[in-house]
């Protein structure tokens, strides 16, 4: 999934788009090191030393990883659980919609 997300971020780098993570690795150094090795350029909240049991995922009731929410430019949740090509289509659709609004 990381290669897919890397290419999405790369493809949309000039668009009004952001991939925001909630990283749930329990070891911050490991996350940093792996992010560097895997070319993860997007910004994430770090979920803390409890890893998947950390405060953000606990509040949002996340029980499976990855969990995806796609928000439009007004912050409204428009899609959940979309992966791969479906994620791309959801994002492209919302970017087109945003352009029409303007």
Partner 1 sequence: MRPTSLVAVLLLPLAVTGQAQTFDSAAQAYERLSARLRKERREYGEARAAITASAAYRAARERGDRAAVLRMLNTVPRPDELSMCRRAIEVAARFGGDDAVRLLGWAAVHAKNKELTVEVVDRVEAEHMSSPALTALLERADVIARHLGMERGPGFLQRVVDESPHDIVRAWALYWQSIAIKRRDPQAAEKLRQRAATFADGHWLADKIRAKQFKAERLQVGMVAPDIEGADADGVAFKLSDYRGKVVVLDFWGFW
95 binds partner 1 (CB under 8 A): yes
Instruction: Please select the residue that binds partner 1; options are 7, 10, 11, 15, rule is CB under 8 A.
Output: 15
21 binds partner 1 (CB under 8 A): yes
Q: Which is nearer to partner 1, 10 or 55 (CB)?
A: 55
The Cα angle at residue 72 between residues 67 and 76, in degrees rounded to 5: 75
The three-state secondary structure class of 89 is: helix
27 phi, psi to nearest 5 deg? -115, 110
The three-state secondary structure class of 1 is: coil
Cα–Cα distance for residue pair 74/30, rounded to 1 Å: 34
To partner 1, the closest distance from the beta carbon of 99 in angstroms equals: 11
Residues in contact with partner 1 by the rule CB under 8 A: 1-2, 5, 8, 15-25, 27-35, 38, 43-47, 50-52, 55-62, 65-80, 87, 91, 94-95, 98
């Amino acid at each position: 999934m990381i290669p897919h997300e890397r290419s999405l971020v790369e493809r949309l780098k000039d668009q009004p788009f952001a991939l925001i993570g909630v990283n749930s690795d329990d070891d911050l150094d490991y996350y940093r090191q792996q992010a560097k090795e895997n070319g993860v350029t997007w910004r994430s909240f770090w979920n803390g030393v409890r890893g998947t049991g950390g405060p953000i995922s606990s509040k949002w009731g996340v029980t499976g990883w990855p969990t995806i929410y796609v928000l439009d430019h007004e912050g409204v949740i428009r899609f959940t659980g979309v992966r791969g090509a479906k994620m791309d289509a959801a994002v492209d659709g919302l970017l087109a919609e945003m352009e029409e609004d303007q």
